[in-house]
Amino acid sequence: MAPNDEFIREVDEEYRRDQIAQIWNRYNGIIIGVVVLVVAGVGGWRFWEHTQQTRAQEAAVRYEEALRLSSEDKGQDAQAAFEAVVKEDGETGYAMLARFRLAAELGQQNAENGASAFDALANDASVPPLWKDLARLRAAWLRVDTVEPAKLRQAVEPLAAPSGAWRHSARELLGLSGLKAGDMDYAGRWFDQIAADRETPSSLRQRLAVYTALVAGGPVQATQ
């Protein structure tokens, strides 16, 4: 390297050092503040993330305990446990699951109470549309023996559309409503849709054999 080039390089480096020193002297407080904020922000994010994970794990434990009580037919204890999950873990997905299970527990004790709990879920703006539809369907199942067929069908038929996520259960319920009302044509139409759908679950296809036999037998005549 020529002496002149070396001199220019040294002058350039000295100038840069001088510029950095001036910037530091002028803005060192701001620079330190920004660094502190970045470190605090990262630390705060990590703390929040850890807190959320801990809450989710605790909610999972409470939910599993409620499921255990339900499986052991401890209805009152299970109901209280699900209510605790809803109250204490309202910001987690387990709270939503617990609300559905709580409605199911209520339905085992009293069909209309359970259906009303599912109605509340269906009308809750915070519940995603997919789960609102499930709540409507579960409410209809609980009311199949008490509500007028026309009212039940009005609520359930939209859920039985070919693209519906819950169409299999909806079609089964509509077919059963036809059987209960002695309307074999109506029942048969829905059972035919179940048979034609390639995605119909195997368990439902097994029940379908019984349903179609009932349709073929026609309405049961009352005898004196």
Query: pTM of this prediction?
Result: 0.69
Amino acid occupying residue 76: Q
Point out the residues of the chain with pLDDT beneath 70: 1-60, 70, 75, 89-92, 219-224
Q: What pLDDT, on a 0 to 100 scale, did the predictor assign at position 196?
A: 95
Q: What pLDDT, on a 0 to 100 scale, did the predictor assign at position 23?
A: 61
pLDDT tens digits, residue range 24-78?
A: 566 666 666 666 666 666 666 564 455 556 666 666 677 777 778 767 777 677 7
Query: How many whole angstroms separate alpha carbon 204 and alpha carbon 5?
Result: 87
| 179 contacts: CB under 8 Å, gap ≥ 6 | 187, 211, 214, 215
